[in-house]
Amino acid sequence: MKLRSERLPRDCSEEPDPQAPAENCSRAALFAKAEELSAKRTAGGDPLAHFLKGQLYYEEGLYEEALIQFEKIKDTDFKAMYQLGVMHYDGLGTKEDPERGVEYMKKILYSDSPKARHLKFAAAYNLGRAYYEGCGVKQSTEEAERLWLIAADHGNPKASIKAQSTLGMLYSVLEDLKKAFFWHSEACGNGNLESQGALGVMYLYGQGIRQNTKAALECLREAAERGNIYAQGHLVEYYYNRKFYSTAAAVAKRATENNDIDMLAQVTDCLPTYVAKGVAMAAFYLARCLQRGLGVRQDQAAAKKYYSKACLLDPGVASDLELAANLGRI
């Protein structure tokens, strides 16, 4: 499990020369310039310099160097304490020590300092993850729920939107679909891509809300365009079942073109499990289209390949869909 880091935007102190060649603005050149400016601020006694330098190293993956900078100011800078919590929990630049990571997050969450206030939602979310998975603390779904509710802060858009979406997922697992719908709605309204796809599915099948195909398609299509693979898989199923075979095949090809589930999950900030389910659904229906020549040219070899892909990624989804096919529903 990976905790969520505070990735702060960097400010450019100098505007680039519009006449300069593009290669002068390379990532390496920008990093070197930022490191130079950071060193000057450190030498000048800027209290933020160590954090900015550590954050620069962190975002470039230079974790050992980042750790050194954050350690220097951990007792006076809550942002540095937060990053150290993430790094110790996940073993970035140091030996993995989830108990120590949890300790840092608790210090932030329960601090009375105004300087810790803006990090409390993120710390509560991370602590919830730790309790839910029992890593660094004793497993407790109840404590995870309590912490995520703190982090979600009644749907506050300035709180942890990831916590809002995670509550939607949690209540779906607990089969409290009305609460699941509420939290996915809050997260979706605040821009969360995963909840947008989940809302589409809930509208489509009337889960926690009255069935509404129009609202479902609006959510699923927009989420799919934004890269939500789970939404793409459900759109493929919807189009196939309504005999829009060419559209189903086109969406399925898009959903199955990338095999790197972890990368897709990272880019879209969606759970790998649901990314895999979306790809598996799309692969299954694309296989059906190829096997029968529906919306695409018939190709038995390609159909076999996509059936295998569906089974490999999510045997449960593939077997359920195959059963439906054998019963004549597909």
Q: What is the CATH number of the domain that holds 170?
A: 1.25.40.10
Q: Is residue 88 part of a domain?
A: yes
Task: Summarize pLDDT for 50-86 with one digit per residue, the tens.
Answer: 899 999 999 999 999 999 999 999 999 999 999 999 9
What is the extent of the structural domain holding 238?
A: 229-330
CA distance 219 to 56: 37
Q: pTM for the complete prediction?
A: 0.84
Nearest to 172 by CA among 140, 143, 194, 150: 194
Looking at the fold, whether 217 and 233 belong to one and the same domain comes out as no
pLDDT digits (tens, 9 = 90+) for 95-138: 999 999 999 999 999 999 999 999 999 999 999 999 999 999 99
> Quick one: 33 and 107 in the same domain?
yes
Residue count of the chain = 330
CB contact at 8 A, 278 and 233: yes
Q: What is the DSSP letter of 192?
A: -
Say if 61 falls within a structural domain.
yes
Q: Are residues 138 and 263 in the same domain?
A: no
How many independent structural domains does the chain possess? 3
Residues 114 and 186 in one domain: no
Do 222 and 278 belong to one domain?
Answer: no
Give the pLDDT mean for 87-95.
96
- Of the three residues 151, 172, 194, the one that is the final residue of a domain is 151
Tell me if 18 is assigned to some domain: no
In a domain, 278, yes or no: yes
Which pLDDT score is estimated for 34?
63
Helix 141-152 vs helix 120-133: angle between axes, to the nearest 10 degrees?
A: 160
290 and 235, same domain (yes or no):
yes
Instruction: Specify whether 125 is located in the same domain as 37.
Output: yes
Residue 170 lies in a domain: yes
Count Cβ atoms within 10 A of the Cβ of residue 75 and give its class: 0-12 exposed, 13-18 middle, 19 or more buried: exposed
Count of Cβ atoms closer than 10 Å to residue 271 Cβ:
15
| Per-residue pLDDT tens digits for 262-319 | 999 999 999 999 999 999 999 999 999 999 999 999 999 999 999 999 999 988 776 6
